[in-house]
Amino acid sequence: MRFGRSKLQTAGSYQVSTKTMKSYFALIIIIGIMTGCNISKSAFRSNHKYSSREVEYDYQVFENMLKESHPGLYWYTGKDSMEYYFREGADQLKDSMTEPQFRKVLSYVVSKIDCGHTSVKASNHYLRHIDSSRFKIFPLSMKFWDDSAAVAANLNRKDSVLRRGVVVTAINNKSIREILDTIFQYLPADGYNRTHKLQTLSNRGSFGNSYTSIFGQRDKYSVTYLDSSGETKSVFVPYYNPLADSLNRFPPRRMMKPSRRERKQSERLSARQLQIDKENKSAVMDVNTFSKGYRLKRFFKKSFQQLHENQINYLVIDLRGNGGGNVMNSTMLSKFLIDKPFKLADSLYTISRRSSYGRHMQNYFFNHAFMLFTTKKKSDGFYHFGYFERHYFKPRKKNHFDGKTYILIGGNSFSATTLFTESVIKEDNVFVVGEETGGGAYGNTAWLIPDVVLPETRVRFRLPLFRLVIDKNNPKNGRGVQPEIEVKPTAEAIKNGADFKMDKVKELIKEDKSGTKNR
């Protein structure tokens, strides 16, 4: 199962200058993906308008491919309702459109599928020619939970009012609840999961991009907030210009280019690392992805060997930034914690092994061949991947961890991370802490997720080809895996930069050592 939402950060060995440059270029890419932008005419094709014929043709390909191949199209939204949304999207294509305008329509329709693995992406051509210096960026990064919002960061560094932790109640006279309800109409998620959408908007830069794409860009924004005494006040804040700020903030400097080996080491440290506290017999394992390329199986084997050699009694596995990846990597981690054989899924199938639109689908030949050799048609009319429906994975005996394990989860915990959490949560010595996972507890649509490139606009969208049911006995309520010990943010914790979930785990370990029960 592949998923690209892991939040990998640059390791400390790169020095500050490399980090800031990476952050700046990442911001440019994020801006390019957003919908609804005011783009300079000098940026080739970025403000080009496609004719109504072109966008209507692409939209028809988009709709037909979803109906032909998406295994969860009617999982949460009935067929009649999806037909209504398809028509609603088509009704908006009566005039020429820019690419961002077209993507906004597609995003609205895709969100109604309630599948977190199905999303709309900018064309590669658009990303290459976008002129980031002309954007008027909303300056605030926000942290959202329930119907609350607080400032997480302010790109306007001289602003002494809207500092980290300040509670925001409205923007441009629209309440936070009204803003969220509107933006949620364009964000994908598994089922009816709000936690994932809240966390998506809380990721750096995401809210500003979503807000301006839907509500429009301005030279300044009216922000209503609560001051230190709890009184409601309003202030106007200007937009942020990344190019002007970067020239002043990060003057050019010579840097030694890291070697390929150093880059690989840094990437692996960003993806996974283990910290052992020998004195307290505890350890923290950060796993920010289950994707291939990070030597995770070797890392897990070595890590659990170190836990055994150091007689560690308490293990914290932090999966809050883990968007998923390869299920064999997540299964390997499960083997070190589970004490009995377990299955990956109760069912795994595709609705079609062929596509009439294969020429538009990434890796179509290989995906088609894979499905021909690994799936078999059953009485329900679907093509099942029988191996994973039947196979039981055995726990690893060597260096199996039998101490207390605390799994940290949140809205970014998605896809294969959800499978892992669901597999270990029933263990008596495992405690799941934090917020609901972004991935669905009952199942998801994923496994093979090629990009589709629409022929006229070259806009892309992700199209999962398999439907996976993790546990058929789980409620089909469209929710993620629920934490056994729920820990939500507060404005005070955000203001202080506190890691409130990790602090809770430390408290639980301390209580356990003193004889107080965790549950």
Q: Is the Cβ–Cβ distance between 223 and 237 less than 8 Å?
A: yes
Q: Predicted confidence band at 2 (pLDDT cuts at 50, 70, 90)?
A: very low
Interval 290-311: pLDDT, tens: 999 999 999 999 999 999 999 9
The 3-state secondary structure of 299-312, one letter per residue: HHHHHHHHHHHCCC
Which is more confident, 369 or 25? Answer: 369
Structure tokens at 357: 């639109």
The 3-state secondary structure of 28-95, one letter per residue: HHHHHHCCCCCCCCCCCCCCCEECHHHHHHHHHHHHHHHHHHCCCCCCCCCHHHHHHHHHHHHCCCCC
Q: Is the Cβ–Cβ distance between 136 and 217 less than 8 Å?
A: yes
- The predicted pLDDT at position 75 comes to 95
- The predicted pLDDT at position 301 comes to 97
Q: Is the Cβ–Cβ distance between 236 and 208 less than 8 Å?
A: no
Mean predicted confidence (pLDDT) in 235-258: 69
Q: Predicted confidence band at 40 (pLDDT cuts at 50, 70, 90)?
A: very low
Q: Predicted confidence band at 244 (pLDDT cuts at 50, 70, 90)?
A: low
Mean predicted confidence (pLDDT) in 228-241: 92
pLDDT at 36 over 80: no
Mean predicted confidence (pLDDT) in 328-344: 96
Q: Which residues pair with 150 in a beta bridge?
A: 143, 167
Question: Which helix (H) or strand (E) covers residue 225, if one does?
Answer: strand 220-226
Mean predicted confidence (pLDDT) in 321-335: 96
The span from the CA of 365 to the CA of 404, in Å, is 46
pLDDT at 27 over 50: no
Q: How many CB atoms lie within 10 A of CB 58?
A: 22
Place of tokens 């998506």: 200
Interval 421-440: pLDDT, tens: 999 999 999 999 999 999 99
Q: Which residues pair with 224 in a beta bridge?
A: 170, 234
Q: What is the mean pLDDT of the chain?
A: 88
pLDDT at 332 over 60: yes
Structure tokens at 239: 């937009």
Highest averaged pLDDT of the listed ranges 19-23, 36-40, 124-128, 412-416: 412-416
- The predicted pLDDT at position 47 comes to 77
The span from the CA of 265 to the CA of 267, in Å, is 5
pLDDT at 408 over 60: yes
Report the CATH fold assignment for 137-240: Pdz3 Domain (2.30.42)
- The predicted pLDDT at position 251 comes to 54
Q: Which residues pair with 282 in a beta bridge?
A: 277, 314
The span from the CA of 424 to the CA of 431, in Å, is 9
Interval 462-506: pLDDT, tens: 999 999 999 999 888 999 999 999 999 999 999 999 999 999 999
The span from the CA of 114 to the CA of 266, in Å, is 35
Q: What percent of the chain stands above pLDDT 70?
A: 87
How many helices (H) does the chain have, and how many strands (E)?
17, 24
Q: Which residues pair with 461 in a beta bridge?
A: 120, 452
The span from the CA of 343 to the CA of 341, in Å, is 7
- Tell me where in the chain the CATH 2.30.42.10 domain(s) lie: 137-240
> Smallest Cα–Cα separation from 8: which of 202, 203, 185, 218?
203
Interval 349-396: pLDDT, tens: 999 999 999 999 999 999 999 999 999 999 999 999 999 999 999 999
> What are the CA-CA distances from residue 97 to residues 60, 380, 457 (Å)?
16, 42, 10
pLDDT at 210 over 60: yes
- The predicted pLDDT at position 360 comes to 97
pLDDT at 21 over 50: no
Helix (H, G, I), strand (E, B) or coil at 298: helix
The amino acid at 87: R
pLDDT at 39 over 60: no
Angle at 365 between CA 359 and CA 368, to 5 degrees: 105
The span from the CA of 438 to the CA of 116, in Å, is 8
pLDDT at 279 over 90: yes
- The predicted pLDDT at position 34 comes to 44
Mean predicted confidence (pLDDT) in 250-270: 71
